[in-house]
């Protein structure tokens, strides 16, 4: 275990017995966890499969939040389930809707044991004309401290559980009326597609490959054809380059892969993405070339944040093309999204276009990602939950002798 990993708190896990005693929610459970929960209620072994399938259908295909809605489950069984479990989702503390229709939810996760205070995460929904993408968090905060990323400045970090990752999709579908028979919201914009959430990107808070098992199991729930039923091809996992986990991600998650490259030389990438000191560009690209299932139809996306005067020269663009030679790849240029206290500026539009032209002429698709939800700090790298900001402010206020009331007024008056 290295220093970077040491700082991550494991999500505290409850035993099945504790779960039953605490009336925990089954929303977000895997098939195994559902079977365990039923077993704990003394459901006979021979009925477990049938009962789990029933629950699975109601929870993940129909989106019910009450056991009483499960019409093909017997009344006594429904009563037993209600007595021990819930189907509650974590609380949505706030919903912000950007002028461009992007929605950002601040979600409060309940404490997971006596030593856990609970946590807050952000999930972002990005509607487009023909699709709706949910940007899902995998950790509270991130340990990796990329110098241009707001999330990396959050001090408290813990891994999310499988259920907490799945719950982000459940919350989004609740809010967007994205269940059979449910009504779409009348405010903001929701695409007129069959599914309001048609795609998932693991690009919210956190490094998904530092929380591998939970992310893998959550995506297993999400792609299950009898439930949420999203195709693996519509899931993109973005990593800052945890090289030893990339092959496993291909084998066990099977999603599309995005790599946060951002620089073409190790000296600069060491600065922007400090994980590069451990896994330099050469090793990262070798792992990409070996990514299982890689083909022209299944290309790797290389994300490249455009930082004015830092990584946006013509020479950088040419080197990028050289590095990716022969690899089925797309290059996604991301205009830098500023956040309070950030030390960089976004490259000029002209610079971004020149960079994109060089890449395009070399035969790579090089879309420039339109920043979405910038006005509500929902764009890439801007996520950082409010609790942390409030806490930081509270500290400053305390240090400067202002009491709690002053802090409250400042926090809400901005």
Binding site for ligand SF4 (CB under 6 A): 142, 144-146, 149, 151-152, 206-207, 240, 260, 381
Residue 168 engages ligand SAH in binding (rule: CB under 6 A): no
d(CA 237, CA 63): 25
Q: How far is CA 349 from CA 5, 204, 325, 352, 382, in A?
A: 37, 25, 26, 5, 20
Q: How far is CA 287 from CA 125, 225, 236, 241, 327, in A?
A: 30, 30, 17, 9, 11
Tell which one of 303, 312, 316, 388 touches ligand SAH (CB under 6 A). Answer: 303
DSSP 181-238: TPPPPSSS---SSS-S--EEEE-SSS-GGGSHHHHHHHHHHHH-TTTT---GGGEEEE
Residue 143 engages ligand SAH in binding (rule: CB under 6 A): no
Nearer to ligand SAH, 36 or 375 (CB): 375
Per-residue mark of binding to ligand SAH, 193-222 (x: CB under 6 A): ----------x---x---------------
Tell which one of 58, 85, 125, 148 touches ligand SAH (CB under 6 A). Answer: 148
Nearer to ligand SF4, 25 or 239 (CB): 239
- The single residue of 122, 164, 303, 388 carrying the catalytic annotation is 122
d(CA 16, CA 221): 19
Q: What is the DSSP letter of 112?
A: -
Q: Is 281 helix (H, G, I), strand (E, B) or coil?
A: helix
Nearer to ligand SF4, 207 or 388 (CB): 207
Tokens of 86: 């819930």
d(CA 60, CA 189): 24
Q: Which does 145 bind (CB under 5 to 8 A by kind): ligand SAH, ligand SF4, none?
A: ligand SF4
Instruction: Give the contacts of 137 (CB within 8 A, at least 6 positions apart).
Output: 121, 122, 123, 160, 165, 168, 204, 205, 206, 383
Nearer to ligand SAH, 168 or 260 (CB): 260
Q: What is the DSSP letter of 8?
A: P
Residue 337 engages ligand SAH in binding (rule: CB under 6 A): yes
Q: Single out the segment in contact with ligand SAH by CB under 6 A; choices: 26-34, 120-128, 143-151, 280-288.
A: 143-151
Nearer to ligand SF4, 227 or 338 (CB): 338
Instruction: Give the contacts of 180 (CB within 8 A, at least 6 positions apart).
Output: 61, 62, 63
Whether the Cβ atoms of residue 108 and residue 90 lie closer than 8 Å to each other: yes
d(CA 195, CA 133): 10
Tell which one of 28, 132, 254, 381 touches ligand SAH (CB under 6 A). Answer: 381
Residue 28 engages ligand SAH in binding (rule: CB under 6 A): no
d(CA 131, CA 233): 14
Nearer to ligand SF4, 28 or 381 (CB): 381
- The single residue of 135, 142, 288, 380 carrying the catalytic annotation is 380
CB of 152 to ligand SF4, least distance (A): 3
Q: Which does 334 bind (CB under 5 to 8 A by kind): ligand SAH, ligand SF4, none?
A: ligand SAH
Burial per residue of 278-305, b for 16 or more beta-carbon CB atoms within 10 angstroms, e otherwise: ebebeebbebbeebeebeeeebbbbbbb
* Count of residues in contact with ligand SAH, rule CB under 6 A: 17
d(CA 73, CA 122): 35
Tell which one of 19, 54, 239, 387 touches ligand SAH (CB under 6 A). Answer: 239
Nearer to ligand SF4, 145 or 313 (CB): 145
CB of 337 to ligand SAH, least distance (A): 4
Residue 19 engages ligand SAH in binding (rule: CB under 6 A): no
Q: Single out the segment in contact with ligand SAH by CB under 6 A; choices: 7-15, 58-66, 145-153, 182-190.
A: 145-153
| Residue 288 is among the residues annotated as catalytic for this protein | no
| Residue 380 is among the residues annotated as catalytic for this protein | yes
Applying CB under 6 A, the residues found at the interface with ligand SAH are 142, 146, 148-149, 203, 207, 238-240, 260, 303, 305, 334, 336-337, 380-381
Give the residue numbers annotated as catalytic, written as ranges: 122, 380
């Amino acid at each position: 275990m290295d220093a970077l990993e040491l700082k991550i708190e494991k999500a505290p896990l409850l035993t099945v017995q504790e779960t039953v005693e605490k009336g925990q929610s089954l929303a977000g459970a895997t098939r195994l966890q559902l079977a365990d929960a039923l077993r704990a209620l003394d459901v006979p072994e021979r009925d477990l499969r049938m009962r789990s399938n029933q629950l699975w259908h109601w929870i993940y295909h129909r989106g019910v939040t009450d056991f009483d809605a499960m019409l093909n489950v017997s009344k006594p069984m429904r009563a037993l389930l209600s007595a021990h479990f819930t189907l509650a989702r974590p609380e949505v503390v706030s919903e912000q809707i950007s002028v461009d229709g992007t929605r950002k939810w601040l979600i409060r996760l309940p404490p997971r044991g006596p030593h856990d205070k609970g946590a807050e995460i952000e999930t972002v929904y990005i509607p487009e004309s023909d699709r709706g993408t949910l940007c899902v968090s995998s950790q509270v905060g991130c340990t990796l401290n990329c110098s241009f990323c707001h999330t990396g400045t959050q001090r408290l970090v813990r891994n999310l559980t499988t259920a907490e990752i799945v719950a982000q999709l459940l919350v989004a579908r609740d809010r967007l009326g994205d269940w059979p028979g449910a009504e779409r919201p009348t405010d903001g914009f929701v695409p007129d597609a069959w599914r309001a959430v048609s795609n998932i990107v693991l690009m919210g808070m956190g490094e998904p490959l530092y929380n591998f098992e939970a992310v893998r199991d959550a995506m297993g729930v999400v792609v299950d054809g009898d439930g949420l039923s999203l195709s693996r091809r519509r899931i993109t996992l973005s990593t800052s380059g945890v090289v030893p986990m990339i092959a496993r991600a291909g084998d066990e998650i099977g999603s599309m892969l995005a790599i946060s490259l951002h620089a073409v030389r190790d000296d600069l990438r060491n600065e922007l993405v400090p994980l590069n000191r451990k896994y330099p560009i050469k090793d990262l690209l070798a792992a990409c070339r070996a990514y299982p299932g890689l083909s022209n139809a299944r290309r790797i996306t290389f994300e490249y944040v455009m930082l004015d005067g830092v990584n946006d020269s013509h020479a950088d663009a040419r080197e990028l093309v050289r590095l990716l030679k022969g690899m089925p790849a797309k290059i996604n240029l991301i205009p830098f999204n500023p956040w309070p206290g950030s030390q960089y500026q976004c490259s000029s539009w002209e610079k971004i276009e020149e960079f994109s032209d060089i890449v395009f002429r070399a035969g790579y698709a090089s879309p420039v990602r339109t920043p979405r939800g910038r006005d509500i700090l929902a764009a890439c790298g801007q996520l950082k939950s409010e609790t942390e900001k409030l806490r930081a402010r509270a500290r400053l206020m305390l240090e400067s002798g202002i009491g709690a009331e002053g802090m409250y007024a400042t926090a809400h008056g901005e």
